[in-house]
Amino acid sequence: MNIKVDDDFCDESLFKEMKKCLSDTHFPWYWHLNKTTDPNDGLYQFVHMFYEENQPISNWFPLVNKVLDNQNPVYLRIKANLQPDTLRGAQSGFHHDMGLYKGHTTSILYMNTNNGFTIFEGGPKIKSVENRLITFPSELRHAAIESTDLPRIVVNFNYYV
């Protein structure tokens, strides 16, 4: 499986700025029920879209745009996900992001350390560790496992290189 794990990916000042932004009481998070594949699973999260449909749609796009700047990505979507901590630690359904688009890359930047995971179908389980970036081909099906100790916050990048 072609999964790359980079710890301490962002420089410290950029990461602190992003974390402060996403944790601010005035940062807009939007409720999203049925966050993955099964409309009846009862799972939910809060999302913030930074980039979608070939354009920035958030005032905070310039901040997240710096994360992969050295790769010259052509973005399809950038969004942040906030999954509240739960007592159950449920797993979302396996999926690939943006299934209509083929051959792109997915990267997930973990904004905090918690006991949640990203798992891959037939592959590894990746712990949610602050400032860790995982990168993989979009065709790899993955799922999120809810955290039971803290909210799980990630920024998800879908792009062509």
Angstrom distance (rounded) from CA 76 to CA 94: 20
Q: What is the DSSP string of 8-43?
A: T-S-HHHHHHHHHHHHSTTS--EEEES-SS-TTS--
Q: Which single residue is written with the structure tokens 């710890």?
A: 7
Distance from chain centroid for Cα 28 = 16
What is the pLDDT confidence band of residue 37, given thresholds at 50, 70 and 90?
low
CATH number of 4-143: 2.60.120.620
* Interval 33-38 mean pLDDT: 56
Is residue 142's pLDDT more than 70? Answer: yes
Distant-in-sequence, close-in-space partners of 52: CB < 8 Å, separation ≥ 6: 77, 78, 79
